[in-house]
């Protein structure tokens, strides 16, 4: 399975609970292999199968959880 790595900048995270929320929504998507979310810097490093999930779908999942992904 070919995988792709993507770093998403995320704004609006303020605590460990935010990190857990973003991690959970990304891990729930099909094709996501691994997720590492950090507060400093505020970002998510995601390894995923681009056949199963797109970068746009990753962004939407984070935004639907109440956070922003700057363009």
pLDDT, tens digit, 9 for 90 and up, residues 47-59: 999 999 999 999 9
Per-residue pLDDT for 18 more than 70? yes
Per-residue pLDDT, averaged over 9-24, amounts to: 97
CATH architecture of 4-64: 2-Layer Sandwich (3.30)
- Cβ pair 43, 7 in contact under 8 A: yes
pLDDT tops 70 at residue 1: no
The residue extents of the domains of the chain are 4-64
Structure tokens that stand for 27 in this block: 């891990």
Say what the pTM is.
0.93
* pLDDT for 71: 79
Neighbours of 64 (CB within 10 A): 9
């Amino acid at each position: 399975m070919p995988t792709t790595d993507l770093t998403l900048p995320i704004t609006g995270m303020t605590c460990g609970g935010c990190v857990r929320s973003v991690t959970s929504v990304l891990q729930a998507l099909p094709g996501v292999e691994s997720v590492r979310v950090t507060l400093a810097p505020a970002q998510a490093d995601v390894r995923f199968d681009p056949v199963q999930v797109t970068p746009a779908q990753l962004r939407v999942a984070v935004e639907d959880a109440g956070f922003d992904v700057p363009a």
